[in-house]
Amino acid sequence: MIERKRSFLYLGTITSVLYFSEGLPFGIVKDFVPMYLRFKHVDLTSIGLLNIVAFAWTFKFLWSPLIDELGTYRRWIATAVAAITLALAGMVVAQSLGPLFYGLVALLAIASATQDMAVDAFTIRATPQKMLGPVNSIRVMAYRIALMVPGVLGIVASKFGWPHAFGTAAVVGAVVFALALTLPDDRGQASRDRPNFIASLQHWLLRPKSGLLLAIAFTYRLGEMAIVAMIKPYWVDRGYSAAEIGTITSIVGVIVSIAAAIVGGALVARFGLYRSLIGVGVMQAVSNIGYAVVATISAGRWAIYVAAVLENIGYGLGTTVFLAFLMSLCDRDRAATEYALLSAAFALTGNIMASASGAIAQHAGYPVYFWLTVLLGLPALLILPYVRDVIPEAPAEAATAT
């Protein structure tokens, strides 16, 4: 019993550190850098185009065979974290917003995507079957907590300046790097069979109504992904400080989204996947209406706070239910490959929309853009009734593993 507790404590500690390290660079690229650029008076079109670097997370499966075939997972993790740390340290001095700064952002995204794959592979091999549930719970919480870091960095930037904020993130990366060096080279007997993505995709497309199911994968989260890209610049343009933006949109927002994600898992368990997809899809659209109304009538501080809370409720609910939907569509024998491909599908449309978001908001204005994000949530809701008969009902444990 003592050995079991010690083993779980060890795994739990490793999982916390590694998945916190996964969430850190993602939050910086998606939240902190756009806020920083807007404070530096970078135009919205350029901020939106910066989301192109997020395609690293979309297409990371293309170099996943290298991680399985070459070296150990510990070396991949340590190398990726070292690159993340160097990129953040470089941002301390690359304040001119020239090619060097944007190159560092791209390096941060690519290293982060590589780290994600290595960490996932390491955790799967290191975790015994009986500990999958508890370790997965720790994993989700650690990643969500990491998404609060951009808010903390906003407070640091407000009090001490932007270089100190990037430097703080680099110090955190250096600590994770030191811990990564202590990981065991426990790779196990890795399979030498490389995943055949084309064959798996062809197999998936042969299922009934695969085209409609794929359309839902492309569009269900599109409105939410679109609004997230412009939330930080909108707050900046309304005149709020980095500290206030970080506190409300990141720290408070992430706490609300974690609670909503837990509720989303309970909804799937109680009402089933199809009804949850419909109900939460409506809630996602409604949650975007908050920012649309606030931007249209130029509402005051407390109205914007309410809009932020509503948007994070929609984000948390949508994440849980949608990932349960994706998991339910994967065959057991091809789950890893099919899930990677389906994840790439929804990330692709989200990144395209996020990349165009700045140009649309700059030329049409925030009110028009935010109302557009509401409309983007409707196509999936219109398609869902046509695929009700082919949507499997996900078990509760799948629904809560987000």
Tell me what the mean pLDDT of segment 324-346 comes to.
65
Verify that 26 and 106 share a domain, yes or no: yes
Q: Closest Cα to residue 46, out of 120, 105, 126?
A: 105
Verify that 224 and 91 share a domain, yes or no: no
Verify that 311 and 251 share a domain, yes or no: yes
In which band, very low, low, confident or very high, does the pLDDT at 304 lie, cut at 50, 70 and 90? confident
**φ/ψ of residue 192, rounded to 5:** -95, 5
Verify that 201 and 326 share a domain, yes or no: yes
Q: Closest Cα to residue 67, out of 182, 238, 190?
A: 190
In which band, very low, low, confident or very high, does the pLDDT at 306 lie, cut at 50, 70 and 90? confident
List all residues 6 or more positions away from 115 whose beta carbon is below 8 Å from its beta carbon: 21, 22, 25, 76, 77, 80, 81, 84
Q: Which of 194, 224, 241 is the last residue of a domain?
A: 194
CA separation for the pair 114, 68 (Å, rounded): 12
Question: Do 394 and 274 form a contact (C-beta atoms < 8 A)?
Answer: no
Dig out the tokens for 157 from the structure: 């930037």
User: Does the pLDDT value for residue 333 go beyond 60?
Assistant: no
CA separation for the pair 311, 289 (Å, rounded): 9
Verify that 107 and 251 share a domain, yes or no: no
Verify that 167 and 105 share a domain, yes or no: yes
pLDDT (tens digit per residue) in 237-255? 888 887 777 778 777 887 8
Q: Which of 162, 178, 194 is the last residue of a domain?
A: 194
Question: Do 246 and 156 form a contact (C-beta atoms < 8 A)?
Answer: no
Helix, strand, coil proportions of the chain in percent (round to 5)?
Answer: 85, 0, 15
User: Does the pLDDT value for residue 191 go beyond 70?
Assistant: no
Residues in the chain: 402
Burial 149-176 (b: 16+ CB within 10 A, else e): bbbbbbbbbbeeebeebbbbbbebbbeb
Verify that 6 and 129 share a domain, yes or no: yes
The domain in which residue 74 lies consists of: 1-194
Question: Do 169 and 24 form a contact (C-beta atoms < 8 A)?
Answer: yes
Q: Closest Cα to residue 268, out of 136, 394, 386?
A: 394
pLDDT (tens digit per residue) in 140-155? 677 778 877 877 888 8
pLDDT (tens digit per residue) in 168-178? 888 988 988 88
User: Which residues in 228-362 belong to E strands, given as ranges?
Assistant: none
3-state secondary structure at position 175: helix
CA separation for the pair 72, 400 (Å, rounded): 30
- In this predicted structure, what is the pLDDT of residue 45? 77
List all residues 6 or more positions away from 388 whose beta carbon is below 8 Å from its beta carbon: 274
Dig out the tokens for 293 from the structure: 């109304």
User: Does the pLDDT value for residue 317 go beyond 60?
Assistant: yes
Verify that 69 and 210 share a domain, yes or no: no
User: Does the pLDDT value for residue 259 go beyond 60?
Assistant: yes
CATH of the domain at 121: 1.20.1250.20
Verify that 89 and 182 share a domain, yes or no: yes
CA separation for the pair 296, 74 (Å, rounded): 50
Verify that 164 and 221 share a domain, yes or no: no
Verify that 152 and 181 share a domain, yes or no: yes
Count up the domains in the chain and report the number: 2
User: Does the pLDDT value for residue 129 go beyond 90?
Assistant: no
H or E element that contains 331: none
Q: Which of 168, 194, 220 is the last residue of a domain?
A: 194
Verify that 237 and 386 share a domain, yes or no: yes
User: Does the pLDDT value for residue 117 go beyond 70?
Assistant: yes
Burial class (CB in 10 A: 0-12, 13-18, 19+), 130: exposed
